[in-house]
Structure 1
Amino acid sequence: MTERVWKVYLSGEIHSDWRERIADGVAAAGLPVHLDAPVTEHADSDDCGVAIFGAEPDKFWHDRKGAQLNAIRTRRLIEDADLVVVRFGEKYKQWNAAFDAGFAAALGKPLVILHPPEHDHALKEVDAAANAVARDPDQVVQALAYVIRGEMPGRTAGRLAAVPN
């Protein structure tokens, strides 16, 4: 019997290595997880619309073209995800991350929010809609190991056994 592969969408902040840390942790734990993400090259994400559909003299329409094109990818990957992780970083206001969290919650997707404690008050409604709030990427990996295999941190085998059909 083949182990089910979980699709996990990693949304949010693009200026730190949190996605790589989760990917490395998932690989090290041997978890059956496929990770998806938005385009994380900032310039590409901003400029994709005008690069493909033509220049815009007004920055509003420049940004709109990119946002609409990025939305196709983001919406599809969130809709297809088994679980969504949304990271709110320290440096920038991530309105897009908040939108992704709301979209995932509206779809009933399991949702893990990742942010530092100093964002607790600002994100209280987002956190309340989530299934879990993590403080660092290692906690996300531990949560995945628990949800997928019933593994507690520091142990390789969970107490939960599969029930035969």
Structure 2
Amino acid sequence: MAWNVYLSGEIHTDWRERIEEKAGQADLPVTFSAPVTHHEASDDCGVQILGAEQNKFWHDHKGAQVNAIRTRTLIGKADVVVVRFGEKYKQWNAAFDAGYAAALGKPLIIIHGPDHQHALKEVDAAALAVAETPEQTVEILDYVINGRLAGYNA
């Protein structure tokens, strides 16, 4: 069985690429999906496709709705949802994705550093695992998919 893993969260570091690379090295039967990570395209998709808006609220609203078609569909099809919270920006969209996935009963893996423990305590409580690195996330996937645990004979 191929597992569908949705990678949500911050777009300013290479964490997605690191997960995909390590999963490939581990030969995991995984298909990854994600939101559109080109920031400007994600912001402007609604007005680019459906027409300009003078008010920034409606500009953003149109984009959010168009992006939600992708996000809701891919999270709905996911076997596991991974949500990364970065250091630099507040990722309200990532928190929303985590809540949406939790409401659907999707297994959640949350990634963030120790400095976000308090701010994300409710998100972490909904998760089945909270990792600090993309590499730990791949180890979790390897274990749950293949039953392999580094240092143990499976």
> TM-score with structure 1 length normalisation?
0.92
Aligned residue for 1:145?
Answer: 142
Aligned residue for 1:26?
Answer: 23
Aligned residue for 1:123?
Answer: 120
After TM superposition, give the deviation of residue 154 of structure 1 in Å: 4.8
Gap runs ≥5 in structure 1: 159-165
Alpha-carbon distance between aligned partners in 1 of 2:105 and 2:142, rounded to the nearest angstrom: 21
The answer to whether 1:41 aligns with 2:38 is yes
Query: RMSD between aligned alpha carbons?
Result: 0.8
Amino acid at match of 2:119: A
> TM-score with structure 2 length normalisation?
0.98
Q: After TM superposition, which residue ranges in structure 1, 4 or more long, deviate above 4 angstroms? A: none
Gap runs ≥5 in structure 2: none
After TM superposition, give the deviation of residue 111 of structure 1 in Å: 0.4
What pairs with 1:68-107 in structure 2 (closer than 5 Å)? 68-107=65-104
The answer to whether 1:63 aligns with 2:66 is no
Instruction: Specify the SS of the correspondent of 1:148.
Output: helix
Structure showing greater relative contact order (alpha-carbon pairs closer than 8 Å, 6 or more residues apart) = 2
The answer to whether 1:14 aligns with 2:7 is no
